[in-house]
Amino acid sequence: MNKIREVLKEIDFSISQDKMEELKIETKNLVGEIKNEIKKQRQKAEVFVGGSFAKGTLIKENEYDVDIFVRFDKDEGISDKLEKIIKKVSGKIKLRYERVHGSRDYFRIIKNKETRYEIIPVLKIKKPKEARNVTDLSYFHVNYVRKKINPGIAREIGIAKAFLKASGVYGAESYIRGISGYGVECLMIYYKKFENLIKAIANSKEGEKIIIDIEKDYKNKQELLIDINESKSHGPMILVDPTWKGRNVLAALGQETFLKLKERVNKFLANPSRSYFEIKEMDIDKFKAKAGKGEEFVEIILNTDRQEGDIAGTKMKKFSLYLESEIGKYFQIKKEEFVYGDAQEAKLYLIVKPNKEFVKVGPPVKMKSSVSAFKSQNKKVYESKGRLYAKIEINFSCKSFIEDFREKYKDKIKEMDVSGLIVG
């Protein structure tokens, strides 16, 4: 038995029978309350349980999310209709609910520190192509996965999910741009074994896409690429949704995230260890120690007043990329790490090295008044192709640059929904 198999054999992320039974009872009770309230309000809707819990792919964690879908006959204000139902149910069970904004608003009920329920309004459709929102497909996804997996594949799915979570690439949210739970499930239905999946990722060639068509809905790759929307097929992997062939399950996966995953896969294959499946907090001291001679470590704390979760995370990730692009004009960014939890704060860690100089673009030479002002403000000025330029020496730290940036561009920072920027 090779080292990889030895490590994988020891791993078991299955949820305990007691915890599973507890979740089943609690979920059944909540679903019953929702169904009763639907009848009282004479709504035309039905309820089904979805997500990893319903598919049998839930893994052992500190916190559990259970998805409950309410299928409405017509897509007319269904979030508002569901809120009327949830408001009554939450009052009866004496638990607070919150409305979560998204492409279609849904609701969250937090049972305790371990368990929370997400109640999602969807449209009842007969065929996947009738979907108006990706959540409308959940009913088909649950049924497909349940039909295709067995205990062996379910275990491999658990291993794959744990690896991706520990690698920071699990989730299709915009601030992660990784692989969703359904994406992992489909990948393992195709590859059967976690080892097969990671070897396929490791052996992938630069510039070539990994293309997977589980149900062989297309005759060849050319037909597949023509049919799937270009905006949904530009990423490093295409996984044809087995319930709707026009959709790429891995459309959210970004190139940067894929390369991050590939690097981690290669390290695991070179030296297999259980540690690759364990989620670890950011080791700031370890990251800081990577700064070499002439390099600077910077910690940036970001805050937003936007809704925690995908919205807050995406806003702060977008701003961090913008800030990095500005810093990159003066400094080489040697290493970076963006860390977002589940609240309204994120941290950006950088190791930078100053460039020797920065070329500042000035006005065209024919603009006399602007030319005079530019020359008075800058020392090393030169002309090229009818325009002035100035060479600016980098004699300031990255921290001081960010502090100066914060003061100069307050409006821009506010416009990007960042309410706080602290340089550590």
- The whole-angstrom separation of Cα 59 and Cα 212 is 25
Q: 269 and 371 in one domain?
A: no
**CA torsion, ordered 278, 284, 286, 292, to nearest 10 deg:** 140
The packing angle between helices 151-167 and 181-191, to 10°, is 130
C-beta separation of 73 from 81 below 8 A: no
- Residues 253, 167 share a domain: yes
Cα four-point dihedral sign 371, 377, 378, 379 = positive
What is the residue whose two structure tokens read 């699990």? 170
Instruction: Based on the fold, state whether residues 190 and 179 are members of the same structural domain.
Output: yes
Asked whether residue 309 is assigned to any structural domain, the reply reads yes
Q: What pLDDT does 196 receive?
A: 97
pLDDT at 233: 75
CATH assignment of the domain containing 363: 3.30.70.1550
pTM: 0.85
CB 120 within 8 A of CB 79: no
Co-location of 159 and 261 in the same domain = yes
Rg (CA), the chain: 26
Yes or no: say if 136 and 106 are a contact pair by the CB < 8 Å rule. Answer: no
Rounded CA-CA distance 51/110 in Å is 17
Same domain, 299 and 413: yes
pLDDT of residue 395: 87
Same structural domain for residues 181 and 72?
no
Q: Rounded to the nearest 10 degrees, what angle do helices 194-202 and 255-270 cross at?
A: 110
Residue 2 lies in a domain: no
For residue 151, how many other CB atoms are within 10 A of its CB?
Answer: 9
- In this structure, is residue 5 part of a structural domain? no
What is residue 231's predicted lDDT score, i.e. its pLDDT? 65
**pLDDT tens series, the chain, 424 aa:** 588 888 998 888 889 999 999 999 999 999 999 999 999 999 999 999 999 999 999 999 888 999 999 999 998 999 999 999 999 999 999 999 999 998 899 999 999 889 999 999 999 999 999 999 999 999 999 999 999 999 999 999 999 999 999 999 999 988 999 999 999 999 999 999 999 999 999 999 988 999 999 999 999 988 998 888 766 778 899 999 999 999 999 999 999 999 999 999 999 999 999 999 998 888 999 999 999 999 999 999 999 999 888 889 999 999 999 999 999 989 999 999 999 977 899 999 999 999 988 888 999 999 988 999 999 988 889 999 999 999 988 889 999 999 999 999 999 999 999 999 999 8
The phi-psi region of residue 94 (left if phi > 0; otherwise alpha if psi is between -120 and 50; otherwise beta) is: left
Could you give the count of Cα atoms lying within 13 Å of 117 in the half-sphere of its Cβ?
Answer: 24
Question: Residue 416: CA atoms inside 13 Å, Cβ hemisphere, count?
Answer: 21
Q: Is the residue at 187 inside a domain?
A: yes
Phi-psi category of residue 411: left, alpha or beta, with phi > 0 → left and psi -120 to 50 → alpha = alpha
Q: Are residues 158 and 56 in the same domain?
A: no
Strand-pair partners of 333: 352
Asked whether 209 and 236 are in contact (CB, 8 A), the reply is: yes
Judge whether 409 and 401 are in contact, CB under 8 Å: no
Domain membership of residue 169 (yes or no) is: yes
Task: Determine the residue type at 43.
Answer: Q
153 lies in a domain?
A: yes
Identify the domain boundary among 111, 134, 157: 134
Residues 252, 184 share a domain: yes
Q: Do residue 377 and residue 403 come from a single domain?
A: no
The count of structural domains within the chain is 4
The verdict on 409 and 379 lying in the same domain is no
Residues 4, 269 contacting (CB under 8 angstroms): yes
Which residue range(s) make up the domain with 262?
A: 149-277
Does residue 87 sit in the same domain as residue 54?
yes
User: Are residues 288 and 417 both part of a single domain?
Assistant: yes
φ, ψ for residue 348, nearest 5 deg: -120, 120
Taking the C-alpha atoms of residue 113 and residue 104, their distance in angstroms, rounded to an integer, is 26
